[in-house]
Amino acid sequence: MPFFAYPLALLGLTSIPVLVGLYWLRSRFRRHTVSSLVLWDEPQRPRQGGRRLQRFQGSLLFILELLVLLLFVAAAAKPMIRSGRVTRHLVVVLDDSYSLLAENDGSARQRAQEALEAELRDTPRFTARFLRAGPSGQLLAEAATDLRGVRRICQQWTCQAPAGNLTDALQLAHELAADQSHILILTDQPPPTIPEKGTVQWWSFGAPVANLAIVHAARSGTDAGDRCLVQVRNFSALPAASRLVVTTEDGATIREEAFSLAAGQENTFRWVPPAGTAAVRVSLPDGDALSIDNQVVLLPERAEPVPVRVDITGPRLRLAVQQALAAARIAETGPGRYRLLITDEPNAVADEPLAWTVSILAEEPPAAYLGPYLLDESHRLTEGLALEGVIWAAGRRQEVPGRAILLAGDVPLITDQQTDNERHYVRIRLRPELSSLTRSAAWPVLFWNLLEWRRRHLPGLERVNCRLGDKAVFVTENPNDEFVLVDPAGRQERLIPQANSLTAPADRPGIHEIRSSTETARFAVNALQPDESDLRRNGSGRWGNWRDEATLQREYRRIDWVFLLGALGVLAVHAGLIHRHSQMYRFGEAPGPDRKTAGRPG
Amino acid sequence: MRYRLQVPPAVPQGSTGILLGRGIASSLEFMDYREYQPGDDLRRVDWNALARSDKLTVKLYRDEIHPHVDLILDGSRSMTLAGSAKRPATLALAAALIEAAGNAGYRHTVWLIDRQCRQIPRGAEPPDVWEGIDFSAPVNPGAVLARYTPAWRTRGIRIFLSDLLWLGEPLETLYRLADRAAAVHVVQVLARADIEPPQRGNLRLVDSETGSVRDIFLDAAAQKRYRDKFTRHQQHWHRACRQVGATLTNVTAETFWERQRLDAFLAANILQVC
């Protein structure tokens, strides 16, 4: 598609009113009354010829002069068209977040693909590489050189990601893009900053529409049985009403409730599913712009206790540990196989192959610490752990191996050492007789975290209800088996265990299944991202410009000479007409008389 | 200075109002013989001479002229061309010619060509009492005369005052004027604007007769073409007048109105000084 390199030259179009004015002024006539028009006529000329010829000549000359002006102005504006001999290199960043599935006279994804195809359809030669922007950028391996290839690659653009990290993807695109490449971002939101001229164009195809979405869903096991919780939010500027329907996996309705929400309001629904209910499906059946966030599936969380062996000689400490284990209610301290050994032996080694070890070290000389304590908050053991006011007494006779989880100054109080086969060895420096820790709330919290952490690494799934974009971790005692992941659409994908665990992507909403010859486990994936469900900030538009000087020289060629040639041609025709006009005057065939009045009475 | 109308080439005879011209015509006064020519009136063949000489001869008689002037005025709108002296000059000319005719003992009738050719009220009286001359008819005088040729006085003198600016064959008009007339004088009254084209530039020409409009660009070439056409037009009328034996006198209205002189008529032997 042609464009003008110097559109300011189009100001030359202001010369057109000047030309029109000249013609208008020239066409003003001095009124002069004559006795008769007889002597202003050519009696021998046929009546039909002159008038028509005169008008035709005048208007044609004007049109030609107008055309010449237009052609000169167009030439001055330096029109350019894309050269068909240059291959255009393009890196396309596809926003894979599920908000692009929102329907508003078609989805944003659909409009984006159509726009991309339209852009490339006008490009004779191109090479397009594609980056899918989910939580992180992912390069789609193929490069397309024709529209068929573009369509084939776009089939992988499913918009099932919980977020589109366009910043990371853009950075990756810059690394991929060569000097002569352009980057095109296809998304549904306006850019945070306008792209600078030259490399990047940002095309957005979203629409700010209302949406009612399930933003949180959970199912947890308690002493009283399963409990389900769902939060629904109204992402719009107007009140909304809908229904919440809960069904079993077989389709039986457990609960149905109509509700209404004010603009921006959120409502929480809680209920206890019938005992033995496997999957619970929750939906908002009335529908809205985005359907992916109108339904969730919740599987029952497993309540398997952690087999624990307590091997502590000190009575005070043993009592404190036993009380903490009892308070957590997820520990089983009976004889037999165990998965967690709690001991006060400094170098104790569990005789169970998958057991973790927690060694509580009573070292000399003791020192009492009042804080401040430094916690590694990314570790599961420190989750919710509050140590304000706690006196922690410990010795520091020797260095303890492993990653420091909790420190008092430069003294590690808790360390975590990961051994082979995914086993952990936790060391806790503690002199309980000099500490207030065992009498504080932090003590049962610490043991709850320890047991929960261990339970998640027991054979089976770490979590059965995942959010879209998470990874489902499955721990197995048979890593040599062959594992297959079956997604909600029935597609199968082989999983390769790493040590005793394997990781399955939670990239499709619905129930997934991990199968082997000896084990089967199911996990549910739900789209629960409020940022994606909130469509109010979406918009459409195109930002950025690829036409910098270098691009113009490389990909475009000037066609101003065509306009100049055209102008010269028109000028030649104009000159010819003028010449013919003057010849007609010379031979007495000048236009002018109104033949209808010729021969009238004088 | 007083003028009188001259009857070319006639000599007034008697005072009864009958004048005999010097030319050959059909009066009862025998003048001469000549050989018969095709077209001659067979009633004038001298049968006695035929018996005597076996030759066809015809008798020639003196022309008989009635002492009457029919003054015909072109009543079209072009005679009142805006910015010109055509109207007053035409009226002054008409009055002067009628006065000269009266001085020569002629009676007169004044005719006006508008939608037809009609006598004006009190047209047989002196010019100061003439009525109904308004020069407002959008007509072609030649076409009017072709349709409404009035009963002018036979053997009388006919004077036609007009600008002659219409499209048509002059002979057709002149034949009607000269039919059974003793003499025909055509007086062309033109404005200077009729003779000289206007200044150069874009002109919107308005026809004073019909109001028709024509836009032209007038340059030197167009001015020349106008002058050439005007000259051809004049030559055409002069040729036609010679053909029918009429005289054509050109008068520039503004010049006549300023000087009030009849030299052109004296030179053409239409008037003579008393």
Is residue B93 one of the residues assigned to a domain?
A: yes
Report the share of chain B in percent with pLDDT over 90: 36
Q: Is B58 left (phi over 0), alpha (psi -120 to 50) or beta?
A: beta
What letter does residue A81 receive in the DSSP assignment? E
Burial class (CB in 10 A: 0-12, 13-18, 19+), A86: middle
Residue B17 has pLDDT above 50, yes or no: no
Q: pLDDT tens digits, residue range B192-251? A: 999 999 888 778 888 888 888 888 888 888 888 899 999 999 999 999 999 888 999 999
Residue A543 predicted with pLDDT over 60: yes
| Same domain (yes/no): B53, B80 | no
> What is the spatial distance between Cα A277 and Cα A265, in angstroms, rounded to a whole number?
30
Whether the CB-CB separation of B101 and B188 falls below 8 Å is answered with no
Averaged confidence pLDDT in chain A: 85
Secondary structure class of A97 (helix, strand, coil): strand
* For residues A136-155, average pLDDT: 89
Q: Does B198 touch chain A (CB under 8 A)?
A: yes
Same domain, B266 and B156: yes
Same domain, B253 and B145: yes
Q: How confident is the model at residue A597 (pLDDT cuts 50, 70, 90)?
A: very low
Buried residues in B258-267 as b, exposed as e (16+ CB within 10 A): eeeebebbee
Query: Is some CB atom of chain B closer than 8 A to the CB atom of A586?
Result: yes
Closest CA to B204 of A38, A24, A19, A37: A37
Answer yes or no: is B87 within a domain.
yes
3-state secondary structure of A594: coil
For domain A211-300, the CATH class is mainly beta
User: In the block, which residue shows the tokens 């100054």?
Assistant: A409
Question: Helix, strand or coil for residue B79?
Answer: helix
CB atoms near residue A421 (< 10 Å): 10
Q: Is B212 in Cβ contact with A597 (below 8 Å)?
A: yes
Q: How far is A39 from chain B (nearest CA, A)?
A: 6
Residues 3-32 of A with CB under 8 A from B: 26-32
CATH class of A88-208+537-558: alpha beta
* Most A-contacting residue of B136, B209, B218, B230 (CB-CB within 10 A), to test interface: B209
Q: What is the pLDDT of residues B237-263, one digit of tens each?
A: 999 999 888 999 999 999 999 988 899
- Counting the structural domains of chain B, the total is 2
Out of B141, B203, B230, closest to residue A39 by CB: B230
The verdict on B182 and B216 lying in the same domain is yes
User: Containing domain of residue B40, as a range?
Assistant: 19-65
C-beta of residue A344 within 8 angstroms of C-beta of residue A309: no
Q: How far is A111 from chain B (nearest CA, A)?
A: 60
Which one is predicted more confidently, A596 or A365? A365
Tell me, yes or no, whether B130 and B264 share the same domain: yes
Boundary of a domain, candidates B9, B34, B65: B65
pLDDT number for residue B19: 45
> B178 and B264 share a domain?
yes
The C-alpha of A31 sits at a distance from chain B's nearest C-alpha, in angstroms, of 5
Is A460-526 in the same CATH topology as A211-300? yes
Nearest CA in chain A to B82: A33
SS3 content of chain B, % helix, strand, coil (to 5): 35, 30, 35
Size of interface A-B (CB pairs under 8 A): 118
What integer pLDDT is reported at residue B16 of this predicted model?
33
Q: Is B259 in the same domain as B151?
A: yes
| Model pLDDT for residues A121-133, shown as the tens digit of each residue | 878 888 999 999 9
- Closest CA in chain B for residue A32: B205
Q: What is the pTM of this model?
A: 0.52
Q: Specify whether B172 is located in the same domain as B253.
A: yes
**pLDDT exceeds 80 at position B14:** no
Q: Quick one: A131 exposed, middle or buried, by C-beta within 10 A (0-12, 13-18, 19+)?
A: buried
Q: What are phi and psi of B58, to 5 degrees?
A: -120, 150
Length of chain A: 602
CATH topology of domain A306-456: Rossmann fold (3.40.50)
C-beta of residue A462 within 8 angstroms of C-beta of residue A397: no
**Res B23 pLDDT > 50:** no
Is B169 near chain A, with CB under 8 Å?
A: no
Nearest CB partner across the interface for B208, out of A35, A586, A593: A35
Nearest Cα residue to B27 out of B60, B49, B57: B60
Q: How many CB atoms lie within 10 A of CB A496?
A: 9
Give a yes or no: residue B5 inside a domain: no
**Structural contact between residues B94 and B113, judged by C-beta atoms closer than 8 angstroms:** no
- The DSSP line for A249-274 is TTS-EEEEEEEEE-TT-EEEEEE-PP
Does the beta carbon of B208 lie under 8 angstroms from any beta carbon of chain A? yes
